[in-house]
Structure 1
Amino acid sequence: MTRFANSCLYGAASLIALSVTSPVVAQSVSPGESASDGQIAPEDRVIVVTAQKREQDLTEVPSSITVLDGEALENIGAVNFEDYAKYIPGLGSSSQGGPGQRQLILRGVNAGDDPASTVGVYVDEAPVGSSTSLATGGRLGFELVPFDIERIEVLRGPQGTIYGASTLGGLLKYVTRAPDVDAFEGRVEADIFAVDGGDLNYGVKGAVNVPIAGVAGLRFTGFYAEDGGFVDNVFTGRDNINSNQRYGGRAQLLIEPGPNISLRAAALYQRTEQDDSALVRYDFATGNPVYGELENDRTVAAELTQDFQQYSLTADFDFGFATLTSVSAYSELETPAIGDATASFGAPFGSTAVALLREAETEKFVQELRLTSASRDEGMPLEWQVGLFYTEEDSRNDQVLTVRDGPFVPLNPTAVVELPTSYEEFAVFANTTLFFGERVSLNLGLRIAENEQFFSQSTSGPAVGLPPGVVSTVTNESNDDSATYVVAPSWQITEDVTLYARAASGYRPGGPNAILPNPANPGESLVPLTFDPDTLWNYEAGIKGNFGRSGTFGVAAFRIDWDDIQIIQIVNGATFRGNGESARSEGVEAEVAFEPLDGLTLGGNVVYTNAVLTDDTSLVVGGQDGDRLPLVPKWTATSFADYTFPLSGDVFGNVGATISYAGDRESGFPASLANPSFTLDDYLTVDLRASVNFGALRVAAFAKNLTNEIPQLGATNVGGRLDVAVGRPRSFGLLVGADF
């Protein structure tokens, strides 16, 4: 049994995969838009973003960006990721059945069950999560509860020059509301949703801002949400097993002791507790549920807890010609989870219930210093930025295998694998925008980075062939460096319309591998000691701007060439990180919003993405030239309509509807020997909403997924067992909010 023990535990751990404004695209939602009249004054149409780490008008940034502001999030009743993701062209994800288990995808840059992120996540000025695949950061994405948010910015295409590694596909940035040094204000909100065939969902949230002597402000935000389950377990007889709770809060202090100095300190805590996952048992041969469309028969509940805390200090010093910004941040992301490993280990252990406990944790320190020139509007002949970036990360990915019945129970834990790692990176970056006359500009960017990684692997237990009390430990390390670039010319055809092109490169660090000793020669490893970085180039051209009184639009065509793709590979049943060959993703993204009548806003987005391999992978991975990249639909589209109208005095009503479509996707590669692909069905959802604003009081009603589709969001097919992650069925809800 030694060969089985040495080769399978780590593989299973990876393959089991713990496991009354327009609601739109924010290109139509201006920070200056008034909910009282449903119109946008021309002078208020400027949409400010910080995509290039300076405040800019969205139309001036030569890149494909979508923004959702806080008012839009409130209007659509957004309580989780799925509620707002449909409004962002090209933003997709793979779910393993609950919050805290999401893999983000932009522009088709995805190679399957990838433990390393291809989309970066920021909260304000600081990155979140692991930079390396060894801590499985790609599978355990952090999702900030969307309350008291200034805006969500999504940048499509690689953002390596400004935001660094692991932003191959783009960036998701949460911008929280900063304290106000002048006004006392606050908001409370409560919502309740009834889910078809499931338990109630409900939540309460609140925020308050307290000014201090006109030079400082305190802002406190708190939230609690209970999401009732809707999946039943036919084995245990329990109904609605996949409930979860999310709670936490933020505290921020802003000090402005003078006109040229700003200090902002912030603390954030968010906890997610999941009782079980939203997985449904399917039959691979027929493509149908084994028991019912919302039923499974797992013998081990997939419990998960995710704790995230972040502490940051951002200081700005304005020298007139330029602003010096210092960002210091420390965060911890801890995700202990239990997976059902029965399909992989039940038969060898003679057990009907085998649990895999995984404890993933990343402690991350970030320090950034950057000097940003004043803008062209302030008389500068060119705009520039230079900066230094440093991060130090300590992670662990511990795994414990236990059997809950059968002859091996006295030997528990049957296997223990401890995988501590460290990652250290230092980078310098610079970008500049050159102006040629009033309307033509050229943006240039460069980032040079180097990293060092250390990896340790300790194993013990009878399942890995070791007697009691004996621990086997091996270590490994790696280092590499990178350079990423961007070249982006733009032409402001008119004051409201900009044509641009962009060529940008992206980079994801390589690293050391888990070590698999060769039984025939213990001094050798059956897998490569390290895996290489993967890189890509993105080429795009686009046009965006404003039209009419309040119309906005954006169209972009892109092509991405991806090389040395990091792909999970398998030797003797054990997974390791390897490099595949190449892939290509190309497509078109379009979005529009306009107001044909006073108070009526129409709009939507449509995205076509053709993401395929351009070379064969290994036989075990099973990818062949021309295969679609996993979890990437060829077509997605969303359309919406919202109408705001006066009722009496300062009372206004709003009604709206959204229709959203996602095409079919492959869960993996069809010829894979380890995880054969399953085709996830396309789906169409319809949402309705209505609200009444009584001055500071708002009452809203929602119908989400009115046609009661059961969205298929991901799948694992391991050990002959196919489980499909599903989204929330039809729900009806009420929300009451009040400002003070």
Structure 2
Amino acid sequence: MRNIRRSASVASALALFLGGAAAAQQASPEAAPPEREAVQVGDIIVTAQKREQLLSDVPQSMSVLGSEALEQRQARTIADYAALVPGLSFESGNPGQTRVVLRGINAGGASPTVAVYLDDTPFGSSTGQTNGATLAGDFDTFDIERLEVLRGPQGTLYGANSLGGVVKYVTVAPKLGEWEARGQGGVETVRDGGTGYYGNALVNVPLGDAVALRASGFYRRTAGYIDAIGIADEDVNRARSYGGRASLLLKPSDRLSLRLTAVLQNIEVDSRNAFDADAATLRPITADPFTGASTGGREVRYQLFPDRNEVSYRLYTGTLDYDLGFASFTSVTSYSRQVATDRSDVSYSDLGGITLAQYASSAIYGLAPDAYGIYYPNRSTQKKFTQELRLASNGSATFEWLVGGYYTREPGQLYQRYYPFDTATGRPVTPVPEIPGFNGLVLAQLDSTYKEFAGFGSATLHFSDTFDLTAGGRYSHNDQRTTQTLDGALFNGPSQNRATSKEGVFTWSVSPRYEFARHSEVYARVAKGYRPGGPNVVPPGAGPDYPLQTDADTLMSYEAGIRAETADRTFGIDLSGYYLDWDKTLIVATFQTDAGPISADANGRGARSYGVEATATLRPTRGFTVTTTVAYNNTRLRGDTSNGGRDGDQLPFAPTWNANVSAEYSWDWDGARPYVGADVSTVSDRLGNFDAAYRDLFGRRITFDGYTTASLRAGVSLGRFDLSVYARNIGDSRGLISAGTYPTRPNGAIEVSPIQPRTIGATLGVGF
């Protein structure tokens, strides 16, 4: 790996690349890495190995998305930019409730397989105790410098839950000595839906020669496009996302800097981003399940009690950097809090031939079977304190090293209740009917604490100017404690269970790299990643096969690739192939208990994945860039699982193929800078989560058809002003990206979530 000489003459040349594709963007001299090779226009600087270096020096597969490309596409969430990254897929039933998948590494477990970072700070739960798998930090991308997507296990430098890889948001640091202000406003309309609007603003203020403040804020109202029947409403899946970020940089000397950052974001959804579909075909239901009235072919959901979802992020980070001469010392301290509240109607959940609402109304409360509906407030609270210390060598042309230590403490809580509501009005029944000996219908609470200590290190030996070897290792030890409280009629009264677990895991990586021309190299990488196990939720009447705790699952990755450009940078290629061996895969399994079938964590036998990813970039003339990405992925489950998985099954939400073609042309015109661009993306058929009830009835798994989307964009920069227009999903594809558990909807329907229909919008920006 080569270090890079700080160069005041090159303001920057970070490009917006998809694993090697470029569209230049600015970076300040303060952000440039230290020593050795001058940065050139078109060079991309990344922090994948926790030090600043050229993308071409990183011996592994990764993609980089810069702010300009994200902004032109209005790509503010994972759902917006996933198609731009080969090997990246996702499952999402609601904004703020997203499971991120890289290279197909997903078996539907409760803990994440992709780690999410904001700068050097990990965000989200390290375990499944607070359902962290579907609560990936989906930060708004306004005023970020770039996204780095690292594919393959990153256990050496990033630790737990980076089995599939890492998604890293790199924010724009405050700029010393510079005033900057910028704002945007826009409006968009969704086919068969409503109108959305958005606005954002940022300011960079120097507070003397050694201090600067940068602050930004945004508000986004996303239009709904799904209607409701029962209690009728239109565009019920409308959503709001708002928040901001403030960062203070203090640099009293060339050697010392301190950056303090606060991030706040709220996501609020009025009703689920899902409609009711025929379980066999996944097409919208054609009639009201109770009155028989026609739905007119619309995408509708039946509701007697409106669902609602809210997610909030709070993240506070302090980063200290000190240049010791022979090495740089870095301390990263953070505290974060994530709260997700999901209120949903579970009246139609099946309890073996009778719905939950029917059981509660007749068997519990002694009323008519349709007297009450049941709604389900589910709150997940996760707090996280982290401390990382690193020491990284400076200025060596032959041997570079990095050592560090990491600590995290994560208190969390899951809180769930079942409450009755009046089916005639949709209002909660208050007070809740009291049943002697029971505290309502269901109360479930899980309090947990996760602690982890880790030590890690990596080193790069440069055998010559063209050949180097990077190796590293990490030992992680975690200590977990849980207190589980159950009560209510379905659990036959109160119970409490406490559990503990301790576990240590060693992960490592080795990566040789050979540079056969400038910005052109071949590399190989062998790496191990892991995900913590831990105590399990244990209901009353659990059988002898019920696992009291789970082991960590581990993944071995074997990868080789080539990243190359022509000397004039008119053509670039990034190609990698991999084989992944996943052992003791953590899954959500189904067990029979006295309270009925219960879903809980378990270890499966394992899985494997292999594939190829490629990105090709062509720049035939100045201002014109065409980028093509394609990924092939073959994933297979090893061994049967109790929740409907069969040996040899494709893993959930892991498409065999996905591809994207992007073209953009910009030019100078009478003092203005216009541009036009287009994207075409396609994804192959995917299989949904393992679902034993669905498979028993239909003899197969839920299958989502592949789909293709096309988008157009155009804009012009007029000095301080920018104007852009865009059209996403212009063919109005109805691709599906998630499905609920079967059967939980009226008359045996299933809940499915679509991509956003055709959306047309315009944005006006001004900068100073």
**TM-score, with length taken from structure 2:** 0.88
Matches within 5 A, 1:276-291: 276-291=271-286
- Structure-1 separation of matches of 2:447 and 2:695: 26
User: Which secondary structure does the structure 2 equivalent of 1:343 belong to?
Assistant: coil
- Structure-2 separation of matches of 1:316 and 1:85: 33
Matches within 5 A, 1:205-604: 205-291=200-286, 292=297, 294-344=299-349, 345-349=356-360, 350-351=369-370, 353-374=373-394, 378-405=395-422, 410-411=433-434, 413-466=440-493, 471-518=494-541, 527-547=546-566, 548-572=568-592, 573-604=597-628
Say whether residues 1:99 and 2:95 are aligned partners: yes
- Structure-2 separation of matches of 1:145 and 1:713: 20
Higher alpha-carbon deviation: 632-641 or 41-50: 41-50
- Structure-2 separation of matches of 1:255 and 1:354: 54
Q: Which residue of 1 aligns with 2:174?
A: 179
Contact preservation (8 Å) 1:612, 1:627: yes
CA deviations on 1:560-594 (whole Å, 9 max, x unpaired) are 01010111111121111111112111000001222
Contact preservation (8 Å) 2:79, 2:90: no
- Structure-2 separation of matches of 1:87 and 1:481: 36
Contact preservation (8 Å) 1:356, 1:400: yes
Deviation at residue 348 of structure 1 after TM alignment: 1.7
- Structure-2 separation of matches of 1:634 and 1:183: 48
Ranges in structure 2 where 5+ consecutive residues have no aligned partner: 1-12, 28-37, 287-296, 350-355, 361-368, 424-428
Distance 1:526 1:562, change over 3 A: closer
- Structure-2 separation of matches of 1:139 and 1:327: 26
2:675 corresponds, among 634, 651, 654, to: 654
Deviation at residue 526 of structure 1 after TM alignment: 5.9
User: Which secondary structure does the structure 2 equivalent of 1:161 belong to?
Assistant: coil
Deviation at residue 546 of structure 1 after TM alignment: 2.4
Higher alpha-carbon deviation: 236-245 or 288-297: 288-297
- Structure-2 separation of matches of 1:660 and 1:158: 26
Q: Which residue of 2 aligns with 1:60?
A: 57
- Structure-1 separation of matches of 2:483 and 2:736: 37
- Structure-1 separation of matches of 2:306 and 2:169: 32
1:729 partner amino acid: P
Deviation at residue 286 of structure 1 after TM alignment: 3.5
Say whether residues 1:164 and 2:183 are aligned partners: no
Distance 1:23 1:126, change over 3 A: closer
2:589 partner amino acid: Q
Q: Which residue of 2 aligns with 1:633?
A: 655
User: Which secondary structure does the structure 2 equivalent of 1:347 belong to?
Assistant: helix
Deviation at residue 293 of structure 1 after TM alignment: 5.2
Contact preservation (8 Å) 1:42, 1:550: no
- Structure-2 separation of matches of 1:423 and 1:671: 31
Contact preservation (8 Å) 1:278, 1:727: no
- Structure-2 separation of matches of 1:698 and 1:32: 16
Contact preservation (8 Å) 1:33, 1:44: no
Q: Which residue of 1 aligns with 2:9?
A: none
1:730 corresponds, among 747, 758, 768, to: 758
- Structure-1 separation of matches of 2:452 and 2:680: 43
- Structure-2 separation of matches of 1:197 and 1:442: 56
Contact preservation (8 Å) 1:234, 1:296: yes
2:476 partner amino acid: A
CA deviations on 1:8-28 (whole Å, 9 max, x unpaired) are xxxxxxxxxxxx998752632
Higher alpha-carbon deviation: 411-420 or 667-676: 667-676
1:179 partner amino acid: P
Deviation at residue 260 of structure 1 after TM alignment: 0.4
1:372 partner amino acid: A
- Structure-1 separation of matches of 2:39 and 2:118: 30
Q: Which residue of 2 aligns with 1:29?
A: 22
Deviation at residue 672 of structure 1 after TM alignment: 5.6
Q: Which residue of 2 aligns with 1:16?
A: none
Deviation at residue 626 of structure 1 after TM alignment: 1.5
Q: Which residue of 1 aligns with 2:136?
A: 141
1:109 partner amino acid: I
Deviation at residue 91 of structure 1 after TM alignment: 0.9
- Structure-2 separation of matches of 1:449 and 1:561: 20
Q: Which residue of 1 aligns with 2:185?
A: 190
Contact preservation (8 Å) 2:17, 2:65: yes
User: Which secondary structure does the structure 1 equivalent of 2:40 belong to?
Assistant: helix
- Structure-2 separation of matches of 1:80 and 1:124: 17
- Structure-1 separation of matches of 2:17 and 2:660: 10
Distance 1:24 1:242, change over 3 A: farther
- Structure-2 separation of matches of 1:452 and 1:72: 42
- Structure-1 separation of matches of 2:536 and 2:678: 49
Q: Which residue of 2 aligns with 1:14?
A: none
Deviation at residue 124 of structure 1 after TM alignment: 1.0
Contact preservation (8 Å) 1:385, 1:430: yes
User: Which secondary structure does the structure 2 equivalent of 1:518 belong to?
Assistant: coil
Deviation at residue 342 of structure 1 after TM alignment: 1.6
Q: Which residue of 2 aligns with 1:3?
A: none
- Structure-2 separation of matches of 1:304 and 1:312: 27
- Structure-2 separation of matches of 1:300 and 1:592: 50
CA deviations on 1:515-562 (whole Å, 9 max, x unpaired) are 12338xxxx866221111101101110001322334332100011010
User: Which secondary structure does the structure 2 equivalent of 1:668 belong to?
Assistant: coil
Between the aligned residues of both structures, percent identity stands at 36
- Structure-1 separation of matches of 2:704 and 2:404: 43
Contact preservation (8 Å) 2:110, 2:601: no
User: Which secondary structure does the structure 1 equivalent of 2:156 belong to?
Assistant: helix
Q: What is the root-mean-square deviation in Å for CA atoms of aligned residues?
A: 2.1
- Structure-1 separation of matches of 2:346 and 2:503: 35
Contact preservation (8 Å) 1:313, 1:328: yes
Ranges in structure 1 where 5+ consecutive residues have no aligned partner: 1-19, 35-40
Deviation at residue 154 of structure 1 after TM alignment: 0.3
Q: Which residue of 2 aligns with 1:665?
A: 686
Contact preservation (8 Å) 1:357, 1:400: yes
1:664 partner amino acid: D
- Structure-2 separation of matches of 1:714 and 1:231: 15
Q: Which residue of 2 aligns with 1:78?
A: 75
Contact preservation (8 Å) 2:15, 2:25: no
- Structure-1 separation of matches of 2:328 and 2:14: 34
Distance 1:721 1:465, change over 3 A: farther
User: Which secondary structure does the structure 1 equivalent of 2:79 belong to?
Assistant: helix
Say whether residues 1:680 and 2:704 are aligned partners: yes
* Count of aligned residue pairs for this structure pair: 699
Contact preservation (8 Å) 2:45, 2:55: yes
Q: Which residue of 2 aligns with 1:13?
A: none
Deviation at residue 72 of structure 1 after TM alignment: 1.6
User: Which secondary structure does the structure 2 equivalent of 1:27 belong to?
Assistant: coil
Higher alpha-carbon deviation: 294-303 or 507-516: 294-303
Deviation at residue 145 of structure 1 after TM alignment: 0.7
Deviation at residue 493 of structure 1 after TM alignment: 1.0
CA deviations on 1:212-262 (whole Å, 9 max, x unpaired) are 221111001111110111001122221100011111111110010000001
Deviation at residue 437 of structure 1 after TM alignment: 1.1
User: Which secondary structure does the structure 2 equivalent of 1:646 belong to?
Assistant: coil
